[in-house]
Chains A and B, each alone.
Chain A
Amino acid sequence: MILYLLIMILATVVPLLLAVAFLTLVERRVMGAMQRRQGPNAWGLFGVLQPFLDGLKLLLKEPILPSSADQPLFLWAPILTFLTSQIAWAALPTSTAGAVRDLNLGTMYVLAVGSLGVYGILLRGWRSNSKYAFLGCCRSVAQMISYELPMGLIVLCACMIANSLNWSALVESQQNGIFLLPLWPLALIWIICCLAELNRAPFDLPEAEAELVAGYNVEYASMGFALFFIREYRSMIMMATVTRLLFLGGTAAPMNLFFLNWLPGSFWLRLKATSVVFIYIWVRATLPRYKYSDLMDLGWKRLLPLTLAGFVANAVVVFNIQML
């Protein structure tokens, strides 16, 4: 049993770390293509060795510990963010075999762990004891918690239709029709909230290079920075996976044709998750940054009422269908 668990954990973690590594490369190359230039192409064929060399460089760099930063918590903050983004994967089914632990409260678990990630960011900025980092951290924390509200409501909408909080049940209930069709306005709002939750453009004000020079990261060098980066890309993949599980049928093939079903469910999940990640990168290359006040405005005054309305409408429709 323990061996089984260990194998499941490794089967989840190792490919995930590889995926994160290559995602950095994918982002740079895709953005380069959109910007009429090439991304990294020097190391390995199409630059595939680039992420590993980046990791090596970060490992070999001197970690800088600013004297003004409060020591234990300063070092714990990146570890905390890294951990919380990892443990969320315990409940996500990455193949038809199910998750490492297929919790009946899987959706709630993932949302809760996502909220815990906020603590890590709070610690990072605060313990850096620097004005820029502090500003960045305040903005980031407020942004993340405000956009978690619509996210939770949208997840609940999908769970209402599936009548369960279990991820596998969600996937199974999409066999007759993916949730994107009835819930497409909520899916659009969900994508926006994912971008805000991940601190990605157009909501990347906390790490805006032009203004705060990497915001709450400014005091971190080498491994602290690397851990944070891995966390960010891993959260990207997680959000993309969750999007796919919620809205697009998860591990199922696009059409229920026999030859498409030969390919394993994990392949379809990955393919769909990659397309969502491509949308994230696409949006980053295209849109300017939202100002902080507009960002808050968007979250509270526009997305939240819309999501609430959608939630109520969804509840009403679901009950009508169940009554019939």
Chain B
Amino acid sequence: MPGSLATGLLALARSGAGFSALPAVSHALAALGEAQKRSLHSGLLSSQPASSSSGLPAFGQAPSSSNPFTPGWAFGSRSATTQPLAPAKVNQFTINFGPQHPAAHGVLRLVLEMKGELVERADPHIGLLHRGTEKLIEYKTYLQGLPYFDRLDYVSMMCMEHSYVLAIEQLCNVTVPARAQYIRVLFSEITRIMNHLLAVTCHAMDVGALTPFLWAFEEREKLMEFYERVSGARMHAAYFRPGGVSQDLPIGLLKDIYDFARQFSSRMDELEELLSDNRVWKERTVGIGLINAQQAWDWGCSGPILRASGIDWDLRKAQPYDAYGKMEFNVPVAGHGDCYDRYLVRMHEMRESLRIIFQCLNEMPEGPYKSIDGKVSPPSRSTMKQSMEALIHHFKLYTEGFHVPPGETYKGVEAPKGEFGVYLVSRGGNRPYRCKIRSPGFAHLQTTDFMCKKFMLADVVTVIGTLDVVFGEIDRAAAAAAGAARSSGAGGGRGRNVAAIGMLGPAAAAAAAAWAAAKWSSSCRCDRSGAVGGASKLPQRVQQRLHEWQRLIADAVAKLFRCPHSLHSDSRDVTM
């Protein structure tokens, strides 16, 4: 049949009619359409050639023996219009998007059940990077536990530290001087740019654009140089300390940051030029990984994912910490909730971060770079070598560490990936009793199944890239804590203002009490009794006291959320 069409066309061409043949061709095609319709309606191979008037053989017709030019293969041919193909049965098979994979963004084992090219179910298996962070923190002093937070989300280091030191400061009731606040905001925004540079361009590389990745990493190198200048380490800085920062900014750093910031806008323009209006990029990301506002809220998303779905929620604006209250910046919000919107939100966030950086550079105040409260912040080395008191403070702080009054607090910050929070429980000692980490990646990874259903394998890669998950922060704790994680994370994430947190207090208090009860009485801590030296070995009166505390804490959590001061002024050292 296609052969006959071709012969018909050649006949037209040979007749040399040129453009005047077009009406005849369209008539012929219309007649062919008629023939097809007629044979569809009849449901049988009709024997009457329908378009004999135009002289062309029609489709959907049985080869009539009257036509001497019927090719041999036309006999017994099935026409697609009269006998459509039955859909083939496609088997389901399981593919392991394994832990060793260039696009798995760490160690993600994603078990995909596929039906042909479409994903039926995506099952993330995590835990391959579980390092027991929260357990280890319980055996370290507060300062020793600080570097753990760098290593959680290892692409946005200082934001993790920020959350931890804010929690400690809240419990210790330490005021941070203005200069330290501005330095922290400056480096938080530098970290945000670093994270988004990596996130967007690694995502682009997974999708296929190989060049933005290298351009962005050049910019990251420049930013890591700032990290190194200020703390000594390119990546895991351990720079933020309770009370401020560990060292003042070196001379010349602000000028260099200014030089970087001036040229960074053009670099961003270059990146956007390659991606934003690129029709291949848009085809790969528009409409993929859709999540609307209500679903994003329900799944516990935060950060760019929530903002790309249309919810204007940014902790820097809603619950300002450090100097964010004095900064002028916009929060980009997009509406569709697909990968392209998340990409745009991240690009705009980088530009807003640049704005904040300029404000910090312009308004950087003079003054101390850490709190002068000697009980928390170590003295400077020169004073330590001259004053006896400073020496003693230095010694005690670096060996035993400072003691945090008993209490609990949750402090969430707007990390580049979302809301990163630390739920710190102190029993009054120099070590945290429990340090629960609420990571945004954990909640976001749960949406993988939801976002990937009925999409193709290539879209799975796009979705994982856009969720911006890093396994350091997802795997840091065992999944057994997931129940408490969700409730405390939900409590922290949904808290829009302090009153609302208070309203959620009873629910959170109940959850916290239940979890605390489980902690005290049984479960993971007492299993490893040799290493714990825990409750089973404490004297009787201490145990009674601890039980009293349990009740008091359960009652006081609501009040605690409203009031930053801890209620327990008991300064007894309970060392473990």
Chain A residues within 8 Å of B, Cβ to Cβ: 31, 34-37, 131-132, 135, 201-202, 204-205, 208-211, 213, 284-294, 312, 315-316, 319-320, 323
| Contacts A287-B208, A291-B458 known; 4 new A-B pairs at CB < 8 A | A202-B208, A210-B103, A289-B207, A289-B458
Q: Which of A131, A287, A291 contacts B456 (CB 8 A)?
A: A291
Distance to closest chain B CB from A281 (angstroms): 11
Whether B210 lies near A312 (C-beta < 8 A) is no
* Stretch touching chain A among B26-34, B166-174, B211-219, B400-408: B211-219
Whether A287 lies near B103 (C-beta < 8 A) is no
- Contact residues on B (Cβ < 8 Å of other chain), bracket: 20 to 34
Given known A209-B102, A210-B103, A312-B9, contact A288–B278 (CB-CB < 8 A): yes
Chain B residues within 8 Å of A, Cβ to Cβ: 9, 13, 16, 18-19, 93, 95, 101-103, 117, 204-211, 214-215, 218, 274-275, 278, 280-281, 283-284, 456-459, 461
Q: Which of A131, A132, A210, A287 contacts B205 (CB 8 A)?
A: A210
Complex Cα–Cα for A205 and B275 (A): 18
Complex Cα–Cα for A293 and B287 (A): 14
Q: Across the two chains, which residue of chain A brings its CB closest to B202?
A: A210
Given known A131-B95, A284-B210, A315-B13, contact A289–B280 (CB-CB < 8 A): yes
Whether B93 lies near A131 (C-beta < 8 A) is yes
Whether A323 lies near B16 (C-beta < 8 A) is yes
Whether B206 lies near A287 (C-beta < 8 A) is no
Given known A208-B208, A209-B102, A213-B102, contact A292–B117 (CB-CB < 8 A): yes
CB contacts (< 8 Å) of B214 on chain A: these are 35-37
Complex Cα–Cα for A315 and B11 (A): 12
CB contacts (< 8 Å) of B275 on chain A: these are 288
Judged by DSSP, the binding face of A is helix
Given known A131-B93, A210-B461, A211-B461, contact A289–B218 (CB-CB < 8 A): no
Whether A287 lies near B9 (C-beta < 8 A) is no
Given known A35-B215, A36-B218, A202-B208, contact A210–B283 (CB-CB < 8 A): no
Whether A290 lies near B210 (C-beta < 8 A) is no
Distance to closest chain B CB from A92 (angstroms): 29
Complex Cα–Cα for A36 and B214 (A): 7
Distance to closest chain B CB from A224 (angstroms): 21
Whether A285 lies near B211 (C-beta < 8 A) is yes
Q: Across the two chains, which residue of chain B brings its CB closest to A285?
A: B211
CB contacts (< 8 Å) of B206 on chain A: these are 210-211
Distance to closest chain B CB from A298 (angstroms): 9
Whether A319 lies near B102 (C-beta < 8 A) is no
CB contacts (< 8 Å) of A290 on chain B: these are 208, 280, 283-284
Distance to closest chain A CB from B98 (angstroms): 9
Distance to closest chain B CB from A102 (angstroms): 28
Complex Cα–Cα for A299 and B462 (A): 23
Complex Cα–Cα for A135 and B117 (A): 9
The 3 tightest CB contacts between A and B, nearest first, are A289-B208, A210-B103, A288-B208
Whether B93 lies near A288 (C-beta < 8 A) is no
Whether A288 lies near B13 (C-beta < 8 A) is no
Distance to closest chain B CB from A295 (angstroms): 10
Whether A291 lies near B459 (C-beta < 8 A) is yes
Whether B458 lies near A287 (C-beta < 8 A) is no
Complex Cα–Cα for A8 and B95 (A): 50
Complex Cα–Cα for A179 and B103 (A): 43
Q: Across the two chains, which residue of chain A brings its CB closest to B281?
A: A288
Given known A36-B214, A293-B456, contact A288–B209 (CB-CB < 8 A): yes
Whether B16 lies near A319 (C-beta < 8 A) is yes
Complex Cα–Cα for A35 and B270 (A): 12
Whether A205 lies near B458 (C-beta < 8 A) is yes
CB contacts (< 8 Å) of B209 on chain A: these are 286-289
Whether A35 lies near B211 (C-beta < 8 A) is yes
Q: Which of B93, B274, B283, B457 contacts A211 (CB 8 A)?
A: B457
Whether A289 lies near B284 (C-beta < 8 A) is yes
Given known A213-B102, A287-B280, A290-B280, contact A35–B95 (CB-CB < 8 A): no
Whether A288 lies near B458 (C-beta < 8 A) is no
Q: Which of A37, A202, A204, A209 contacts B280 (CB 8 A)?
A: A202
Given known A288-B204, A290-B280, contact A316–B210 (CB-CB < 8 A): no
